[in-house]
Copies of this chain bind each other. A is one copy, B any other.
């Protein structure tokens, strides 16, 4: 984390604590974060998978979210990108642009959260940088993983006739944000915890099982729209089949459309041929992840959402607004 560059990066000298809290996170090859770069040998016979995401205070997390969840949220969102490609995590690099108000205790909590997740996901910090900013806290994380050659799951390969499946439950993250904002009840904090700490669905090993896969981060309907468009097919969601957590069900049916279109799920959306459903269920059971069929891939284009009577549910918005490139 470039401990030697505090002042160059606009940080006062007393911010040496940043080096102290980050150095223990460094893994093999990171050279104790003391050299210009990390060096490591990639796993033999595997392809590399890389992704990067940034999170900004006030946009992707709330200023009063506990510091020990903020780094982990970004790490888990990136791990979800690896899960979506059926990849195994290797390590990560992290840059932190910090406003003056963060103190040593804040960063100690931040690093302790990362240390906990590093152990849980068997990864280490490979490098990074810490700079000052006069604006909100900005975190940027690059994740590295690996996958068997040619076996990465893609989102543009769904086929007519595939069943549509999701892992876990849908809408917890979106309702968790509303709960954090005091708009819905969350008596035991389950929804807030799902918003703060998504569960990347790693280890399913679906490269030979699913036709296509992606992670649901911007709203189920919108993300399925991307899969359908890029695969040149249409899709139907049977709304009553979409798995909801007990905490979401307790909020009542008025929130259903927000669950189908809200962000922050970080579940996997999978297109699976009927002949491979048993295999999907076996893989999911092996890692103890629930998978639920929610619809199917059909000829045509677009996403149709149907209610229990088979009628179209009209959605005011399909998710976090899609920007057509």
Contacts from A to B (Cβ < 8 Å): 2-11, 13, 15-16, 19-20, 23, 31, 34-42, 47-56, 58-60, 80-82, 84-85, 87, 93-97, 99, 126-136, 138, 140, 142-145, 147, 149, 152, 154-156, 214-215, 217-218, 222, 226, 230, 263, 320-325
**Contacts of A53 on B, CB cut-off 8 Å?**
2, 95, 129
Interface pair A134/B131, CB less than 8 Å apart: no
Chain copies in complex = 2
Known: A36-B214, A52-B93, A54-B140. 6 other contacts (CB 8 A): A4-B218, A6-B320, A35-B214, A56-B133, A59-B131, A59-B133
Interface pair B154/A31, CB less than 8 Å apart: yes
Interface pair A226/B4, CB less than 8 Å apart: yes
Interface pair A50/B81, CB less than 8 Å apart: no
**Contacts of A218 on B, CB cut-off 8 Å?**
4-5, 8
Interface pair A37/B85, CB less than 8 Å apart: yes
Cβ 8 A contact of A54, one of B49, B82, B97, B325: B97
Cα distance, A134 to B36, chains bound together (Å):
31
Smallest Cβ-Cβ distance to A214: which chain B residue: B36
**Contacts of A40 on B, CB cut-off 8 Å?**
47-48, 50
* Residue with the highest number of chain B CB atoms closer than 10 Å, among A19, A23, A152: A152
Cα distance, A323 to B85, chains bound together (Å):
40
Interface pair B136/A135, CB less than 8 Å apart: yes
Interface pair A127/B51, CB less than 8 Å apart: yes
Interface pair B325/A16, CB less than 8 Å apart: yes
A–B Cβ pairs within 8 angstroms, 16 of them? A4-B323, A9-B56, A16-B323, A16-B325, A34-B226, A38-B50, A41-B47, A42-B48, A50-B142, A50-B144, A52-B127, A54-B130, A54-B138, A54-B140, A97-B140, A99-B135
Interface pair B8/A97, CB less than 8 Å apart: no
Interface pair A13/B135, CB less than 8 Å apart: no
Interface pair A81/B37, CB less than 8 Å apart: yes
Cα distance, A47 to B142, chains bound together (Å):
18
Cα distance, A90 to B276, chains bound together (Å):
37
A-B pairs with the 4 shortest C-beta distances? A135-B135, A140-B140, A8-B320, A19-B325
Known: A59-B133, A218-B4. A38 touches B31 (CB 8 A): no
Give the distance to chain B from A325, nearest Cβ to Cβ, in Å: 4
Known: A50-B126, A132-B56. A3 touches B138 (CB 8 A): no
Smallest Cβ-Cβ distance to A142: which chain B residue: B142
Cα distance, A222 to B55, chains bound together (Å):
33
Cα distance, A295 to B182, chains bound together (Å):
65
Smallest Cβ-Cβ distance to A85: which chain B residue: B37
